[in-house]
Amino acid sequence: MTARPTGVEVSCDGPTGRDDCPDSAAVAASYASRTARQVRADGRETGWTRRRHDGRLIDLCPRCRTQPTPPTA
């Protein structure tokens, strides 16, 4: 038997990028989405965003994206 990857999961990085999402949210990918870029495109259709924080990009679900990101210290 040969195992093959079936795609990727993009999950919410939480409102600050350093904590867990209160909803444990993940993008519901379509069956055809196989790459992170494709899955993120699926998420944008349902309100997901990416924000730069602390020099990296974080993925935010619709609930977390409405919460302000605290400034970096």
The residue to which tokens 């935010």 are assigned: 60
Tell me what pLDDT residue 16 has: 81
Q: Which two tokens stand for residue 28?
A: 């519901």
Instruction: Write 43-48 long-range contacts (CB < 8 A, 24+).
Output: 43/10, 48/10, 48/12
Pick from 9, 7, 25, 11: nearest CA to 58: 11
> Please, which residues have CB within 8 angstroms of residue 33's CB and are 6 or more apart in sequence?
7, 39, 41, 42
Phi, psi of 42 (to 5 degrees): -60, -40
pLDDT at site 48: 93
User: Using one digit for the tens of pLDDT, what is the confidence trace for 7-66?
Assistant: 788 899 988 878 888 888 888 878 888 888 999 999 999 899 998 888 888 999 999 988
Q: Note the pLDDT of residue 47.
A: 92
pTM given for the model: 0.72
